[in-house]
Amino acid sequence: MSELNWSRYLTEMTLAFHILFATIGVGIPIFISIAEWIGIRKKDPHYTLMARRWTRGFVITVAVGVVTGTCIGLQLSLLWPEFMRFAGNVISLPLFLETFAFFFEAIFLGIYLYTWNRFSNPYRHWLLTLPIIIGSSASALFITMVNAFMNTPQGFTLENGRLINLDPLAAMFNPATPSKVAHVLSSAYLTSAFILGMIAAFSMLRGRNNDYNKKSIRLNMITGLILAAATILFGDISAKFLFEKQPEKLAAAEWHFETGSQAALVIGGHLDPITHEITGAIKIPYGLSLLASHDPNGVVVGLNDFPRDEWPPLYVHYLFDAMVGIGFYLLAVPVLFLLISRVKRWNTYNRWILGAILAGGPFSLLAIELGWFYAEVGRQPWILRGYMRVAEAATTNPNTPITFWLFAALYLLLGIVCLVVLGRLFRNKPAELELEERRIIL
Amino acid sequence: MSYELIGISVLWLFLYGYLIVASIDYGAGFFAFYARLTKQDHLINRLISRYLSPVWEITNVFLVFFYVGIVGFFPDTAYYYGSALLVPGSIAVILLAIRGSFYAFENYGSKENSVYLFLYGATGLLIPASLSVALTLSEGGFIVEEGGAVTLEYLKLISSPLSWIIVALAIVSVLFISSAFLTFYASRADDQPALKLVRTYALFWGTPTIIAALTAFIYLSQHNERHFQNMMDLWWLLALSVGFFMIAMWLLYTGRRYGLAFICVMLQFFSAFFAYGIGQYPYILDPYITIQSGATQESMGIALVIAFIGGLCLLIPSLILVFKLFLFDADYVKGKK
């Protein structure tokens, strides 16, 4: 195998691992902040305890997120030196701003952790959550800008193989930025809602039927409903963006070969790799045209309009379908939960709904992975769409395989130890015990 | 001053900042582990973790900051160093990752674990050693570009006395800076047993630090005549550095004004570090990258400088807040809060 492939696999592995922790890292601070605020306002110690317990787990995941983020930061230069030399001129500003945001978050997280009882006014401690939220969400914003730039590069002119006449702001605010940032942020918050809901649902299924868990689930599902709706809306806007600016990515996701109006939406199915005939799929007439242009007669560009060597791999269709499917599942669960909670005769926290919330945690993380794989694989073969192919950017260093295995071992170690530590953290000290210690009556 | 000169100056300042905060961190990790081995951990580990827990993540950011900044200002560095350093760079990152995450597992997790502490302590010495290799490489002669491919000449690097003395210098400096800081911190906490222990560390590691520095200087003269001559022209900065070292040692020895002693250690490294950096001008990687040839274009350079200034306006007050809460709040340091 070539250096190119090893470089790709290593980058994929690092990002796939990092994105789990990064997503949680962006979303959880919001919930910590909400819980602490409700706790102070309503003088409800359950919520205050919630904020404390979530923070404790959060620190562990932040640590892994930070170190794997450092890995990907350095790997950019180690594995893709040609790319960094070529495009580093144009995108260093958002990369740089991202580290500022990260710095800001790191400072206030440290303060937040060690000042729980140091302020006489509890709102002061709560105020510290705001810079943490700003820092974590801003770093997601800036790093997504870099990624958006790779999809729709602008803010420079190409001359003799060099990028000149740079406009850093135009590069940051490229066409892909708004829809991408919105979708990334809302999906990160949504995922965190379900991860926290999953934990509470898990302990209720284990028989810990108490107000603490119920309040957590209620909070997570109400916010989850809003966030799922927002995520689907931003996903729709993203599809419209692809239709306008990156039609080959949308066409690959929908197996849409012939340019034409009244295009159908293809769900599932199997593609014949040679004849491009689709079997066994559910086809929704006009669906793709509606999705892309909000007009059943809209003309959608097909893959055949592009040279073969600029096609993304066609398996991205499955990634896309699965991501969208999970998105609607994550909307359905909170809707169902809130409907049931309106009916007095039924038990809101029945086993089925708890099971559905529990499954929402891993599903939402899976959707994050699927969505990113779709976004990244969907712009193959380009690393900088229209300007530089992935093959031209990789390192020439022959030691990529060793590096790959070293990092694989690292992520395995971190993944296992992190799960063990998190598990022990909460098993050794369940919420009930802590409530009792703090003399909170259940 | 041109934007690329501002850029490299600020970056050098940040690297110096990282040198100090990271040395404290790395050395503390090693001392914590060493103390547990020699069954003296009850004396100092609480002190160390009180200081490090709130700030370990900030330390990490200093490095990322420097790294992103230099790649942004000088994209050519990504190409040369990135191509050449795939393996050593990856190993350094892996060590950093193990160290950072296991610190969190040990301190915020639920149980004390000697294996975690061992990983934390051992990496505390290995990371400065591996990072210092980048400084050796910048002297030139180890990275070769031929036919569009950049390679690192491992054999030359391993057989060079310069690279080994720089590694040695990095390790002893880490231990010296860290123990000097811990001495100050222990005296603030009014923790006599801990103070006694870390003060002997500081007194012990002072001498090898200055010897290693002088030896490295001599080997530099053989490896890179230009850099050596430039530094000789800055003899007064080097003399200042030795002067601060002597004041620091004297204060430590007589056992008073530990805060001033630590400031002298900081100034000692500051003057030596800047003499080294100015002497390297105009090269970033001898002979491939100079500050002028490797710089990004003007519009991006200016945007980055503006981002620097804006960012610092945000960071400096926040860092002052951290210092106020965790370094200069006597009650916190003593463990009452």
Using alpha carbons only, how large is chain A's radius of gyration in Å? 23
B178-196 burial: b if 16+ Cβ within 10 Å, else e: bbbbbbbbbbbbebeebbe
ipTM of the complex: 0.83
3-state SS assignment for residue A153: coil
B228: burial class by Cβ within 10 Å (0-12, 13-18, 19+)?
middle
**CB proximity B239 to A under 8 Å:** no
Q: Which two tokens stand for residue A30?
A: 């919001």
- Please compute the mean of the pLDDT values over residues B73-86 and round it to a whole number: 84
Strand positions, DSSP E, A214-271: 265-267, 270-271
Judging contacts by C-beta atoms under 8 Å, the chain A residues touching residue B318 are 104, 107-108, 131
Question: What is the Cα–Cα distance from A96 to A255, expressed in whole angstroms?
Answer: 38
- Please compute the mean of the pLDDT values over residues A382-396 and round it to a whole number: 78
Neighbours of B96 (CB within 10 A): 24
| Helix axes B86-108 and A45-79, enclosed angle (nearest 10) | 170
Residue B110 pLDDT > 60? no
Q: Which of A14-23, A305-314, A399-408, B51-60 bottoms out in mean pLDDT, i.e. has the lowest?
A: B51-60
Confidence tier at A415 by pLDDT (50, 70, 90): very high
- Best to test chain B binding among A85, A118, A434 (most B CBs inside 10 Å): A85
Residue B267 pLDDT > 50? yes
Pairwise CB contact (< 8 Å): A70 & B93: yes
For residue A381, is the peptide bond before it cis, meaning its omega torsion is within 30 degrees of 0? yes
Q: Which of A27-36, B118-127, B289-298 bottoms out in mean pLDDT, i.e. has the lowest?
A: B289-298
Instruction: Say which of A103, A110, A417 has its CB closest to residue B315.
Output: A103
The DSSP bridge partners found for residue A162 are A159
Judging contacts by C-beta atoms under 8 Å, the chain B residues touching residue A166 are 296-297, 299-300
**CB proximity A157 to B under 8 Å:** no
Question: What is the Cα–Cα distance from B68 to A429, expressed in whole angstroms?
Answer: 40
Q: Which amino acid is at B183?
A: T
Question: What is the distance in angstroms between the Cα of A185 and the nearest Cα belonging to chain B?
Answer: 22
- Best to test chain B binding among A52, A78, A82, A428 (most B CBs inside 10 Å): A78
Closest residue of chain B to A64, computed from CA coordinates: B101
- Greater confidence (B175 vs B316) lies with B175
Instruction: Say which of A77, A106, A397 has its CB closest to residue B58.
Output: A106
Inter-residue contact A377 to A316 (CB < 8 Å) = yes
Pairwise CB contact (< 8 Å): A414 & B101: yes
**CB proximity A42 to B under 8 Å:** no
Judging contacts by C-beta atoms under 8 Å, the chain B residues touching residue A393 are none
Instruction: Say which of B65, B90, B304 has its CB closest to residue A78.
Output: B90
Q: Over pLDDT 90: what percentage of chain A?
A: 33
- What was the pLDDT predicted at A286? 79
Pairwise CB contact (< 8 Å): A164 & B297: yes
Confidence tier at A183 by pLDDT (50, 70, 90): very high
- Please compute the mean of the pLDDT values over residues A406-426 and round it to a whole number: 89
Confidence tier at A373 by pLDDT (50, 70, 90): very high
Q: Which of A75-84, A103-112, A281-290 bottoms out in mean pLDDT, i.e. has the lowest?
A: A281-290
Inter-residue contact A64 to A416 (CB < 8 Å) = no
- Please compute the mean of the pLDDT values over residues A374-402 and round it to a whole number: 81
Residue B42 pLDDT > 80? no
Stated pTM of the model = 0.88
Instruction: Say which of A74, A102, A414 has its CB closest to residue B67.
Output: A74
A81-110 burial: b if 16+ Cβ within 10 Å, else e: bbbbbbbbbbbbbbbbbbbbbbbbbbbbbb
**Judged by CB atoms within 8 Å, which residues 76-135 of B form the interface with A?**
76, 78-87, 89-91, 93-94, 96-98, 100-105, 108-111
Question: What is the Cα–Cα distance from B143 to B127, expressed in whole angstroms?
Answer: 21
User: A237-293: per-residue pLDDT in tens?
Assistant: 888 888 888 888 888 888 888 887 777 788 877 877 777 777 777 887 777 787 878
Residue A144 pLDDT > 80? yes
A82: part of which helix (H) or strand (E)?
helix A81-113
The DSSP bridge partners found for residue B285 are B289
Pairwise CB contact (< 8 Å): A70 & B97: yes
Question: What is the distance in angstroms between the Cα of A399 and the nearest Cα belonging to chain B?
Answer: 7
Residue B97 pLDDT > 80? yes
**CB proximity B148 to A under 8 Å:** yes
Instruction: Say which of B58, B90, B110 has its CB closest to residue A403.
Output: B90
- What was the pLDDT predicted at A442? 47
Judging contacts by C-beta atoms under 8 Å, the chain A residues touching residue B315 are 100, 103-104, 107
Closest residue of chain A to B113, computed from CA coordinates: A421
- Please compute the mean of the pLDDT values over residues B163-174 and round it to a whole number: 89
Closest residue of chain A to B306, computed from CA coordinates: A93
Confidence tier at A25 by pLDDT (50, 70, 90): very high
Sign, CA torsion A248/A253/A258/A260: negative
Judging contacts by C-beta atoms under 8 Å, the chain B residues touching residue A82 are 79
Confidence tier at A15 by pLDDT (50, 70, 90): very high
Chain centroid, CA A441 distance in Å = 38
- Best to test chain A binding among B3, B79, B130 (most A CBs inside 10 Å): B79
Question: What is the distance in angstroms between the Cα of B218 and the nearest Cα belonging to chain A?
Answer: 32
Residue B35 pLDDT > 60? yes
- Best to test chain B binding among A97, A107, A411 (most B CBs inside 10 Å): A107
- What was the pLDDT predicted at A369? 94
- Please compute the mean of the pLDDT values over residues B210-223 and round it to a whole number: 83
Strand positions, DSSP E, A78-133: none
User: B190-211: per-residue pLDDT in tens?
Assistant: 888 888 888 888 888 888 888 8
**CB proximity B159 to A under 8 Å:** no
- What was the pLDDT predicted at B112? 63
B285: part of which helix (H) or strand (E)?
strand B283-285
Q: What are the start-end ranges of the H helices in A255-343?
A: 287-293, 316-342
Judging contacts by C-beta atoms under 8 Å, the chain A residues touching residue B56 are 110
Question: What is the distance in angstroms between the Cα of B271 and the nearest Cα belonging to chain A?
Answer: 26
User: A305-362: per-residue pLDDT in tens?
Assistant: 888 888 888 888 899 989 999 999 999 999 999 888 888 778 778 888 899 999 999 9
Which residue in the block uniquely carries the two structure tokens 């002693």? B261
Residue A193 pLDDT > 60? yes
Instruction: Say which of B76, B101, B297 has its CB closest to residue A67.
Output: B101
Inter-residue contact B268 to B19 (CB < 8 Å) = no
Pairwise CB contact (< 8 Å): A88 & B78: yes
- What was the pLDDT predicted at B68? 85
**CB proximity B64 to A under 8 Å:** yes
Q: What are the start-end ranges of the H helices in A114-176?
A: 122-127, 129-151, 168-172
Confidence tier at B321 by pLDDT (50, 70, 90): confident
- Best to test chain A binding among B81, B105, B305 (most A CBs inside 10 Å): B105
Inter-residue contact A352 to A289 (CB < 8 Å) = no
